Chains A and B, each alone.
Chain A
Amino acid sequence: MVKEKMKEKINNFPGYLKSWGTTFIGGLTILCLIILTVIPFLSNDLKYVYVFLPQFTLAMIFAIFAASWDLLTGISGQISFGHAIFFGVAGYICAYFIDYQGFPTWVAIVLGSLGAVFFGLLIGIPCLRLKGPYLALGTLAFSLILLKLFLQGSLAHIFFGSEGISGLPSLSDDPIIEYFIIFIFTIISFIVIIQISKSKLGTIFKSIRDDETGADASGINTTKYKVIAFMISAFFAGLAGTFYALYNTAVNPTGNFGTLNSFFAILMASLGGLTTITGAALGAFFFIFLEYILIEIGVIEIGNLIIDVSLWKFAIFALILIIVVRFAERGILRPILEHLKDLWDVLMGR
């Protein structure tokens, strides 16, 4: 019966894809994918290939990370302020197996992601008794404990100290190949996360988020599903963490476990729009490219007036984020989609 259903789904897939492609969301998604596929080939200028293109790679890594947070917090309602735990642990495990055990990169990536799942389980269980802001503080505390442990110079022989592990290979020496590897994993990750959020499992997550007591009363083992949510989210955060480690070719406590990373995920997902998953990607791209643009502006010279934007870039960055959050409380994805939909309708003559 299941086999037949699967077969039917597969047979109907081309038709489904065709009809989905003609919808607004489908068309927009395909357009974005085409743009992202073409972008690496638009120029062979060194700056374009080695500086501009890696911003997309970085944005996609953070998109996976932010989406994993959105799955845990937006969809499942388990507020995490310590998501950097999974990001950092996976990066460290990946780096350790490459640098100290000589494992192939891809094996190390799998081990790193699975290591994050294990930590998801480890942290999920004690945090089950906590809810809302207490859960948020609990996860934050875990992340701070790990950060401090890894920072202790006196424990450097165990946790590699503040210098961490360096000299890792990158995913590819060619930024274009690196881009496409991350691109493919981003697509797969988003498909899986979106499908989870739409599946029966996602419905259970949402029911726990909206009314845990009610979900419990209807016979859902909320404990089990909350741990599952932690583990699935940790897997994708871990995957992003391994890619980030390989992007930088190094891991260290503040760079990989730092609380800032947790807030990056929260900020990106919230900027895009909570519970949307795809909003996380938009938030990540917005975040990374806003910083990129501010760095690129550099020094502005108007007559005798010299404004070094680079010195103020983080202040300007924060100010822009505050303004965006003020005027797009539910994230920027929904208003953008609404306006694009209007434009789409006009173009279609509707």
Chain B
Amino acid sequence: MESLTKRILAIVLIAVIGVGIGVGAWIFLAAPEAAIKYPGAPSGFDKDNTIVIGCAGDTGEIQGDANYEGAYFACKHINEAGGVVINAITYYFGVTKEDTDESNPNLVPSRGVDAARRLIYDKEVDFAVGGFRSEALLAYIEEFMDAEMIFIGTGAATDIFCEKVNETYADYKWFFRFMPINSTALGGQILYTLADFILNINADYPNHDVKEIGILAEDLTWVTSLVGAIKDVLPLLTGGWATMLPEILYDISLSATDMNSHLADLQADGADIVIPVISAQGGILMMQQYALNEYDYLIFGIDVQSQLDTYWDDTGGDCVYETMMQTLYRCNKTSKSVAFWDAFIAQFGHEPLYIACGAYDAVSAIRDAVEDAQSLDPDLIIPVMESWDRSNPHLGVAGNAAWWPNTHDLVAGYPFGYTLWAQWQPGGTKAVVPALIYPDVGAYGNITTGDYVVAPWVHTEWS
């Protein structure tokens, strides 16, 4: 009898565990309606008539959060403006996100792949935006392409994505790059700006030849062609005036001591200007050591972290006088830029990162393309997006988006895709300084907001 009771109890236990697993699986597999937000949509709207944007990015990290914020903000504005009408039916925009964990230094590519699959097959999004780290995006982009879903890149600069569109259009035609311009074009804009900067500043200091140029870059693939181009072309663009010092490629896990050693080497080599090519945290170390030791050269180049409004505090104000590329700052880059900038800060309490600008423009572009195509069919939407060329660009907050035929890559150069040059100035303010690649006053008003300031200890040394 006791044995029978035990057997019954065992069977009941197994049944309970089985039911528990079943219920758990059902909960996990149920459609995650709550995970999709419809900011700005009127209450009671028909959820059958929605267009859902999937954000692929590293949530919890600045890049992924910026991507979601940009997309969310665009959806809000679109919905508040009445959504989009397709064949007499009003559609509202929804936005959702999945964590690709791509900012993790210990990258696990399968997490990005799984995140892409969740967006496509679980949340059943209609379009996707995102991507930041090339090697992660290279893995999960395939999921979107296999699903024949339009994916707009908002963070990765590597040329390879658009090269794939060009080489195998049938397989990659759903990919478009909205932000930033590709690394080769970035290189070109840096080169022209630097050449002009070197010649101008040289004219300001008759007692000192500003001609020795150093490069301090993180040793990653994306910098390779850029550093090569700077070394080869910059002397030519300055009419043979500039002399390139041996470049320093550093390991991204370097310490403050390592960084200081590199900066001291550049000083010892007689550098007048140092061009940083940095996307990771190395910039903070660089500026802290630079300010601490007051090295006799200027810092003028790429330092992605320095675009953040928190950078001043992150460096304890040591970033002062650093000048770097910045996609957007509060200026009249386009007619929409200033209003977007102010509204974004009012909404989120901080400045938009370039990825946020890209995501905002990407979602706005999707809205316009859907309206023009009067369809959600990618085969009808792609030709509309491809029609945005130099003669017919799409006006965004960060530039006029126009694509080269067959590559879906942004046309670079004023007034299309171009970068601003911004300098951290005393007091923690930032100014968009004059640069060769854009006019002081553009088609939409003032672009530059201040003059370049030479670091005082450098000024003293050179005078």
Contacts and interface: CB of A to CB of B under 8 A. Distances in A.
Interface of A: 43, 45-52, 54-55, 58, 148, 151-154, 156, 161-164, 166-167, 173, 244, 247-250, 252-256, 258-260, 293, 295-296, 298-299, 301, 310-311, 343, 346-347, 349
A22 B3 CA distance: 21
Contact of B10 (A162, A253, A343): A343
B121 A51 contact: yes
Given A50-B120, A151-B219, A310-B99, A260 B138 contact: no
A343 B13 contact: yes
A151 B220 CA distance: 7
B135 A47 contact: no
Given A164-B135, A346-B7, A247 B110 contact: yes
Interface in B113-143: 113-114, 117-118, 120-122, 124, 134-136, 138-139, 142
Interface size class of B (residues with CB under 8 A): 35 or more
Contacts of A55: 114
B160 A249 contact: no
Interface stretch (B101-109, B309-317, B454-462): B101-109
Given A50-B117, A51-B121, A153 B221 contact: yes
Contacts of A349: 3, 7
Given A58-B110, A254-B105, A255-B107, A50 B121 contact: yes
Which of A49, A156, A248, A311 counts the most chain B CB atoms within 10 A?
A248
Given A58-B110, A156-B221, A310-B99, 13 more contacts: A43-B29, A45-B29, A47-B118, A161-B224, A166-B160, A167-B138, A248-B113, A310-B59, A311-B59, A311-B60, A346-B3, A346-B9, A347-B10
B35 to A, nearest CB: 6
Contacts of B264: none
Given A293-B28, A349-B3, A166 B139 contact: yes
Contacts of B436: none
The residue in A48, A58, A161, A166 that gathers the most chain B C-beta atoms within 10 A of its C-beta is A166
B29 A249 contact: no
Contacts, number: 133
Contact of A254 (B106, B118, B122, B160): B106
Contacts of A164: 135, 138
Contact of B118 (A43, A51, A58, A162): A51
B135 A299 contact: no
Nearest to B6: A346
B109 A250 contact: yes
Nearest to A311: B60
A317 to B, nearest CB: 12
A49 B6 CA distance: 38
Contacts of A253: 135
B390 interface: no
A167 B222 contact: no
A68 to B, nearest CB: 18
Q: What 9 pairs between A and B have smallest CB-CB spacing?
A: A161-B221, A166-B138, A252-B135, A250-B139, A50-B121, A255-B109, A260-B106, A254-B107, A46-B121
A258 B107 contact: yes
B106, B134, B139 interface centre (most CB from chain A within 10 Å) = B139
Interface string B128-172: 000000111011001000100000000000101000100000000
Contacts of A173: 146
Contact of A156 (B10, B114, B224): B224
Contacts of B249: 152-154
Interface in B206-235: 219-224
Interface string B229-265: 0000000000000000000010100000000000000
28 contacts: A47-B118, A49-B121, A50-B117, A51-B117, A151-B219, A151-B220, A152-B219, A153-B249, A163-B134, A163-B138, A166-B160, A248-B110, A249-B113, A249-B139, A249-B142, A250-B135, A250-B139, A255-B139, A260-B108, A293-B28, A296-B28, A299-B34, A301-B34, A343-B13, A346-B3, A346-B10, A347-B10, A349-B7
A49 B118 CA distance: 11
A21 to B, nearest CB: 19
A286 to B, nearest CB: 14
B427 interface: no
A223 B462 CA distance: 66
A153 B120 contact: no
Contacts of A255: 107-109, 135-136, 139
A253 B220 CA distance: 11
Contacts of A49: 121
